[in-house]
Amino acid sequence: MLQAVLAILIGFIILAWSADQFVNGAAALARHLGISPLIVGLTIVGFGTSAPELVISAIAALTDNTNLAVGNAIGSNIANIGLVLGTTAIITPLTIASSILKREYPLMLVAMALVFVVLFDGNLGLYEGIILLACLLGVLLWIVYTAIREGHNAPGTLDDALEIEFESELALDEIMSKASAAFWLIAGGILLVASSRLLVWGATTIATTLGISDLIIGLTIVAIGTSLPEIAASIASVVKGENDIAIGNVLGSNIFNSLGVIGLPAIINPTIVSTDVLYRDLPVMIGIAMLLYFLLYNHKGKPALSRVSGFFLLSLYIVYLVILGIQAA
């Protein structure tokens, strides 16, 4: 038991650090290849914070723990809104200026609704995985196409708040050489896999020892741990005044979690999904996502998330964890 706890703690530390290096290396390499800051930000940076969830879910599926993978994805989506945005808004109220994010929110909601539809019969199999991954590919292509069509990839066309923030944030990536970028991309990826394997072993050992389901472990311990990169990225962004990046990271991560982090394990190791997912966790995930929209747009002017709204979201997330704890007990 002690070894399992240490494995989780060490795994989380290495996971958070290696994920950051992996994303930095990928972003820097993309910038060296001439890809615009907006496209890099919306794809590599926006989705890259979900790299821990993706790797953990793949390893969990390979070790016949697909329900842990499902719990990780859904739990991370709930944590991203309740824990990450809630905590960030308490630190600094958030205001959205980017029109791009206003289009990403419906995409996130549609992705979550699609997860509910494909899991409605309780089966998570090959066809469901193919559908989810195909939709993820479609989202990526749409994001790139939209950015190119609107001219955001051309120099001197910084007319969206999110693009301006990405241009400022990614300018430092040019300092990293191509060789360094490639090294950290590869090294970060290897450490991601190693730390994820360690974390999955620790989580499943604790679940077996305490008689708790893999699903609950995925929804709580693993989901919170894999949301650490989002917490760090969002807080760092708001400290720099980059509110749109802070919210954009959460929206992008939730889209990736819904389509990719659930889709990949479905292809690797199909499984029967617990009814708790359908009647408890998925409604909570969709419900808190819809609540986020109401909190952002319940006033005139630019969409904003106040400290009161942040405290409300964080309180709801804590209540959800308490309910999971009571049911597990």
- For the chain, which domains are there? 2-328 (1.20.1420.30)
Q: Tell me how crowded residue 120 is: count the other CB atoms within 10 A of its CB.
A: 11
Q: Specify whether the CB–CB gap between 196 and 51 falls below 8 A.
A: no
Q: Across the chain, where does the E strand assignment appear?
A: 94-95, 123-124, 271-272, 304-305
Q: What is the pLDDT of residue 152?
A: 47
Distances (CA, A) of 228 to 53, 130, 176, 267, 288: 11, 28, 24, 26, 19
Q: Please tell me the distance from the alpha carbon of residue 46 to that of residue 143, in angstroms, as a whole number.
A: 11
Distances (CA, A) of 120 to 114, 187, 269, 279: 10, 39, 18, 10
Q: What is the pLDDT of residue 74?
A: 95
Distances (CA, A) of 205 to 198, 209, 303: 11, 6, 44
Structure pTM? 0.84
Residue with the two structure tokens 């914070």: 49
Q: What is the pLDDT of residue 307?
A: 92
- Alpha helices in the chain, H assignment, sequence order: 2-32, 37-40, 46-48, 51-62, 66-79, 86-91, 99-118, 126-149, 161-170, 178-210, 214-217, 223-226, 228-239, 243-256, 262-268, 275-276, 282-297, 307-328
Q: What is the pLDDT of residue 162?
A: 58
Q: Pull the structure tokens for residue 268.
A: 């690797």
pLDDT by residue for the chain (329 residues), tens only, comes to 788 888 878 877 887 787 777 777 777 777 776 666 666 666 776 666 777 888 888 888 888 888 888 999 999 999 999 999 999 999 888 887 766 667 788 889 999 999 999 998 888 889 999 999 999 999 888 877 776 765 544 444 444 555 555 566 555 545 677 788 788 778 888 887 788 778 888 888 887 787 888 889 889 888 888 787 777 777 777 777 777 777 878 888 899 899 999 999 999 998 888 888 999 999 999 999 999 988 988 777 777 888 999 999 999 999 999 999 888 87
Q: What is the pLDDT of residue 137?
A: 92
Query: What does the radius of gyration of the chain's CA atoms come to, in whole angstroms?
Result: 19
Q: Pull the structure tokens for residue 227.
A: 């949301």
Residue with the two structure tokens 């929206």: 251
Count of CA atoms in the C-beta half-sphere (13 A) of 94? 32
Query: Which of these, 218, 238, 262, 235, lies nearest to 84 by C-alpha position?
Result: 235
Q: Please tell me the distance from the alpha carbon of residue 39 to that of residue 18, in angstroms, as a whole number.
A: 22
Q: Which residues contact 224 (CB under 8 A, 6 or more apart)?
A: 75, 79, 83
Q: Tell me how crowded residue 178 is: count the other CB atoms within 10 A of its CB.
A: 11
Q: Please tell me the distance from the alpha carbon of residue 125 to that of residue 265, in angstroms, as a whole number.
A: 9
